């Protein structure tokens, strides 16, 4: 029996509608209205459900933006955000934004499971938990939850209330600079609260970044999770040849 190449997957109808829409979008400047669901349904001769699915895909991908009661528009291009071991404040400034932080909550709590393991603390050790909305030119960009050892950074809560940059506080007050970090990126749908804070829809795709950083002595500094809108940001990492240093051993996953 001869085995031939696999049969090409059949393209779903909504996908060809989506391709057609992409062609239309490609010719329009950001902010232009796109035809209504009803007009598109008539134009491409398909069901409204199919058109809706194609439009929803393009909204999730950040190509289109829906404004309640106003219609659907061509979105602004995504913002390219470099992945580097800098602070949000420095990174935002480097790409031309004024950074800010709105402290949503700041409290002392007890390290449990993953936080204890990441910060190399005993379960139950005191940790600070900061929840901040990160802003660029006053627009909410990301939601960030940071955990740091309370014993290592006494008085951090008060300082975090007074400064919008955690790294500035760590450097100036505690003489600690993160010099090495591991960062993971995953996707997750926005929770209702995240959606409200980041001005998107519940269930919209989010990019979830986890940073686990260490000081020059290899001691953990912070364990931070940040949620960014997947339709607005493209993360870019520069990859350099890892000459002669063997493979990078990933740190254990907890
Ligand atoms: C970034 C870091 C976060 C760090 C923060 C400090 C990522 C994914 N996370 O948001 O780990 O705590 O910068 O910024 O990049 P700040 O000094 O402006 O508070």
Cα of 49 from ligand 1 centre, angstroms = 41
Average pLDDT over residues 198-216: 95
Residue 224 β-bridge partners: 146, 211
CATH number of the domain at 79-236, please? 3.40.1410.10
Pocket of ligand 1 (CB under 6 A): 87-89, 99, 101, 144, 146, 165-168, 209, 211, 222, 224, 226
Query: For domain 13-74, is the CATH number 1.10.10.10?
Result: yes
The confidence band for 248, taking pLDDT boundaries of 50, 70 and 90, is low
Cα of 117 from ligand 1 centre, angstroms = 20
Alpha-helical regions (H) of the chain: 13-26, 37-44, 48-60, 88-94, 113-118, 156-162, 166-174, 192-197
Residues of the chain with CATH 1.10.10.10: 13-74
- Contact between 144 and 226 (Cβ < 8 Å): yes
Cα of 85 from ligand 1 centre, angstroms = 8
The confidence band for 68, taking pLDDT boundaries of 50, 70 and 90, is confident
For residue range 140-195, list pLDDT tens digits in order. 999 999 999 999 999 999 999 999 999 999 999 999 999 999 999 999 999 999 99
Q: Report the DSSP pairing between strands 99-110 and 180-189.
A: unpaired
Cα of 10 from ligand 1 centre, angstroms = 44
Residues of the chain with CATH 3.40.1410.10: 79-236
For the cut 70, the answer to whether the pLDDT of residue 244 exceeds it is no
């Amino acid at each position: 029996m001869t085995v031939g190449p696999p049969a090409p997957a059949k393209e779903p109808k909504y996908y060809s509608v989506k391709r057609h829409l992409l062609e239309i979008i490609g010719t329009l400047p950001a902010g232009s209205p796109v035809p209504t669901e009803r007009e598109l349904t008539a134009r491409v001769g398909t069901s409204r459900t199919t058109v809706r699915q194609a439009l929803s895909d393009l909204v999730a991908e950040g190509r289109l933006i829906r404004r309640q009661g106003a219609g659907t528009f061509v979105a602004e291009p995504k913002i390219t955000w470099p992945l580097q071991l800098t602070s949000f404040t420095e990174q935002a400034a480097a790409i031309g934004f004024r950074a800010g932080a709105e402290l949503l909550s700041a409290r002392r709590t007890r390290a449990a499971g993953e936080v204890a393991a990441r910060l190399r603390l005993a379960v139950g050790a005191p940790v600070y938990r900061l929840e901040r909305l990160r802003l660029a030119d006053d627009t909410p960009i990301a939601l960030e939850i940071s955990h740091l050892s309370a014993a290592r950074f006494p008085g951090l809560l008060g300082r975090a209330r007074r400064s919008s940059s955690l790294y500035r506080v760590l450097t100036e007050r505690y003489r600690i600079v993160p010099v090495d970090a591991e960062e993971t990126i995953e996707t997750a749908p926005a929770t209702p609260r995240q959606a409200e804070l980041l001005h998107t829809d519940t269930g919209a795709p989010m990019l979830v970044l986890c940073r686990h950083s260490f000081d020059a002595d290899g001691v953990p500094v912070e364990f931070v999770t940040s949620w960014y809108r997947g339709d607005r940001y493209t993360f870019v990492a520069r990859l350099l040849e890892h000459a002669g240093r063997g493979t990078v051993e990933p740190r254990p996953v907890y």
